[in-house]
Structure 1
Amino acid sequence: MRLLLIHQNFPGQFKHMAAEWAKRPGWEVIAIGRDTAPGLPACPELKLLRYKPHRPIRKDQHHYLRRMEDAVLHGQAVARILLNLKKKGWRPDAILAHPGWGETLYAKDVFPDTRLVHYCEWFYNAPPNRDLSHIDRADWPYADIGFDPEFPASFDDYARIRSWNALHLLNLHNCDAGISPTQWQKAQHPAEYRGKITVAHEGIDTENLGPDPEAQFKTPSGVVLRANASKQPVLTYVARNLEPYRGFHTFMRALPAIQREHKNLHTLIVGGNDVSYGSRPKEAKNWKEKMLAEVGGQLDPARTHFLGKLPYEHYKQVLRVSSLHTYLSYPFVLSWSMLESMATGCLVLGSDTSPVREALRNEENGLTVRPLDCTALAKRAGEALARPTAQLQLLKRAATQQVHERWPRARGRWAVEELFAQPSSRSS
């Protein structure tokens, strides 16, 4: 089996799959990633070819088209590598790619008979451009755009994302098959293309995730927090970056009330100060700074610990000492961190939005709360922290069992391998 993996930020979602396939007897795996991609240094068996667009986006490019110009530049750069591989006589049996930056725009022009499988992570699915304030956000039938009334979408936003979807439509047309991590993400794509898409989550490291009753975590200030310490509970919040898309503003507004009710509670906040989704605040350098300016005076700094981005092993210890873990996402891509927290045995309090409900069911394997409602969040968190331990253990065990059954890495890998085995259809 000759397999080509393409990801702008390789390995991205393909990390564990790539490592497994590269070591498999009879498989020859080559990866393509941008010059800035981290790669897989722990897997020397895998050959990584790097590319770089030959120029930046033109400064005078229309802002609706900047993403498409960038995609063409990425596609050209990858096509040059593909043409060189073909010239050397190397032809892949299958290509697995994240096409979100345009890397595979011309892959079928180089290898028309090779099966192209796309990781269909996202399709912009904006609501109608009219007043939707009457819709309960827990019943919101759309995706992220326009979801948060605090940040209303403009006509320019609607026009821009409609233009951005042109790339995703080309990707859907070009590929032979697609995979989406969740049913909800698949459902965001146009109905006429959903038949191409299989739901196959890449999985999480369930083998190395689970509760540890002896777990400890030492804060930068020297406080040692322990798992199952009822007299010193731990509230946790995790995101790649602290921003509204992952409910950081709602969390921070609820935190003063939670701290007032639980005098010994410590809060561990994990995440950077960059922007993964959305935009930076206008009045501050980052969302941490903005929210501290708004509510910081109401918080106990000795019990509020901002940890930044952590090494993975330290991050796991944060989850293992958690008494209550919050996951407050917009209707958007489901984070690995939510599944990892469930697998670790956390009691998860999640926003009552469609993608979260796909994994987290209220009073079955966790708790949910109305999205964007800091008052409801404070109340729900306070109630959860006061509940009998036996009730909480049932929810936590159910969460751990479900994730270990539904989202192991091997299950996602097998689903993708089945797609490789099917015949290719030539793109028109």
Structure 2
Amino acid sequence: MRFLFVHQNFPGQYRHLAAHLARAGHEVVAIGETANLHRTPRLAGVKLYGYEAPPAAPNGFTAPVERAVNRGRRVAAGAAKLKQAGFKPDVIGAHIGWGEALFLKDVFPEAKLLLYCEFFYQPRGADMGFDPEFPATAEKLLRLRVMNSPLLMALDVADCGLAPTRWQHHQFPAVHKPRIAVIHDGIDTDVVAPAGERDPDLVTYVARNLEPYRGFHSFMRAIPEIQRRRPQARIVIVGGDEVSYSPRLPPGQTYRQRLLAELGDRIDLSRVEFRGKIPYAEYLALLRRSAVHVYLTYPFVLSWSLLEAMSAGCLVVASRTAPVEEVMRDGENGLLVDFFSPAGIAERVDYALSHQDELAPLRARARETVAERYDLRRICLPAQLRLVHSLVNRVRSTSPDKSPSRPRPTPPPVKEKAGSTAA
């Protein structure tokens, strides 16, 4: 069979599924943003094709739709070239965001479209209006409808979707939920596992970027009290200074700068290390050494890092927010805390550092939780494959030609840049 994956940051959530299908002998092709394709190692057997990101749309009210449509058109143009060269996928996997999936069924009407349904914006009960420091305005609420428009357009033509958690699935409109399966991307628990000795004074915090959506402001405000209670504690913070989800700041400003200016000399920076973005192996080694790992999030997309920390046997102090509560129970496999309480965060971190032996069973149960519900090879990937095979069977049952399909030549894929590494 022939599979097409579309993701601006390919492989993204398709890393394991695309690699497995390629190893199984299927023809696997991927389309991603050219600038991003060389940032991660290639997946063996997967042919890559790039498209140039469209120019930034003006920041008007309709900008989210304009950006999505412009990106979708570029993806469709690239897909049309593949079709002209003889490539016709049986199944397409595409992320619902960014507009990439909008026109794929127009290019390949016979293919089955499987959407990765990561998030659908809601005016209440999720990220919007959650943080009083960044209140919802009438303009922001209206803009949500515009942001959801491209998602609804993609859902309208999709054959089915998958969402990584029940809470994320719950955000989607009721009319579409029956066609969206709940299957997590999966955590490779064989790789992400405890190893070596813990550093009894090491407190860790990890996010893609240091921003309010991941509770960076709450954690930073907790540090002075953590340091007062635990003079020997060392705090390592991992994450970039860009903004992924939170309100944008004026050019040249970062949330890290703002929090450091706010805290001033109340924080002892000699005991806080900002690592920036680090290689995965270094990140995993850090989790294995961590005495206490802090994870905070708005009611939003659940981070891989929480499940990886649990799989690595970390003692996790996490926010009592809906996505986390789907995974973690206070006092059973972690410690929950009020997202908005720096004093509460500091108290929980202090308690965890003071009772490491007593709380060791929580580490074990955290890993068990991931192994039982989110294990890549034993649970999640098999479930993804069952969903894909159900689509393949639908392709076969509706195809007028039931004879085995012949592989067709495809144009040359994206060339390796000097210094890039093939997987």
1:32 equivalenced with 2:31 (yes/no): yes
2:412 aligned partner: none
**74-83 or 336-345: bigger deviation:** 74-83
Q: Which residue of 2 aligns with 1:395?
A: 362
Asked if the contact 1:10–1:38 (Cα under 8 Å) also holds between the matched residues in 2, the reply is yes
In structure 1, runs of 5+ residues without a counterpart are 128-141, 215-226
CA distance in 1, matches of 2:112, 2:218: 44
Asked whether the equivalents of residues 283 and 290 of structure 1 are also in contact (C-alpha less than 8 Å), the reply is no
CA–CA distance in 1 between the matches of 2:37 and 2:276? 20
Local SS of the residue matching 1:290: helix
Q: Alignment partner for residue 103 of structure 1, among 81, 100, 104?
A: 100
Q: Where does residue 200 of structure 1 map in the other structure?
A: 183
Q: Where does residue 90 of structure 1 map in the other structure?
A: 87
Q: What CA distance in whole angstroms lies between the structure 1 residues aligned with 2:280 and 2:289?
A: 15
**What is the RMSD of the two structures over their aligned residues, measured on CA atoms?**
1.8
Q: 1:88 to 1:6 in 2, by over 3 A?
A: same
What is the match of residue 111 of structure 2?
Answer: 114
1:167 aligns with 2:150: yes
Deviation of residue 101 (structure 1)? 1.1
Q: TM-score, normalised by structure 2?
A: 0.89
Report deviation, 1:57: 4.4
| C-alpha distance in 1 between matches for 2:251 and 2:105 | 46
Q: Please say if 1:342 is aligned against 2:341.
A: no
Q: How many residues align?
A: 392
State the alpha-carbon separation in 2 of the partners of residues 111 and 284 from structure 1. 43
The answer to whether the 8 A contact 2:96-2:118 is kept is no
Conserved 8 A contact 1:35-1:52? yes
Matched AA of 1:32: I
User: Partner of 2:195 in structure 1?
Assistant: 212
Higher mean alpha-carbon deviation, 101-110 vs 262-271, is at: 101-110
Which of 100, 123, 133 is the aligned partner of 2:120? 123
* Secondary structure of 2:36's aligned partner: coil
Corresponding position: 1:310 with 2:307? no
Question: What code does the residue aligned with 1:404 have?
Answer: A
* Alpha-carbon separation, structure 2, partners of 1:327 and 1:348: 7
Q: Quote the offset at 1:279 in angstroms.
A: 2.1
Per the alignment, in what secondary structure is the counterpart of residue 50 of structure 2? Answer: strand
1:236-270 CA distances to partner (integer Å, 9 max, x unpaired)?
A: 11001101100010001111011111111111111
SS class of match (1:356): helix
The one-letter amino acid paired with 1:104 is A
* Deviation, structure 1 residue 283: 10
CA contact (8 A) 1:284 1:290 kept: no
Matches within 5 A, 1:15-414: 15-25=15-25, 27-38=26-37, 41-53=41-53, 55-59=54-58, 63-127=60-124, 142-214=125-197, 227-229=198-200, 233-281=201-249, 285-387=253-355, 389-410=356-377, 411-414=379-382
Question: For 1:240, what is the secondary structure of its paired residue?
Answer: strand
Kept in 2: contact 1:247–1:328 (CA 8 A): yes
Q: Is the 8 A contact 2:4 2:28 kept in 1?
A: yes
Q: CA deviation at 1:280?
A: 3.5
Q: Compute the displacement of 1:152 (Å).
A: 0.5
Q: 2: distance between equivalents of 1:301 and 1:108? A: 53
Query: Matches of 1:36 and 1:284 in 2, distance apart?
Result: 23
Cα deviation 1:378-422 (Å, max 9, x = unaligned): 1222222212x3321100000011112221223322222222223
Q: Shift of residue 44 of structure 1? A: 4.1
**Partner of 1:152: helix, strand, or coil?**
coil
**Structure-2 change in CA distance of 1:396 and 1:34 (3 Å):** same
Runs (5+) with no aligned partner, structure 2: 399-423
1:89 is displaced (CA, Å) by: 2.5
Q: TM-score, normalised by structure 1?
A: 0.88
* 1:163 CA displacement: 1.1
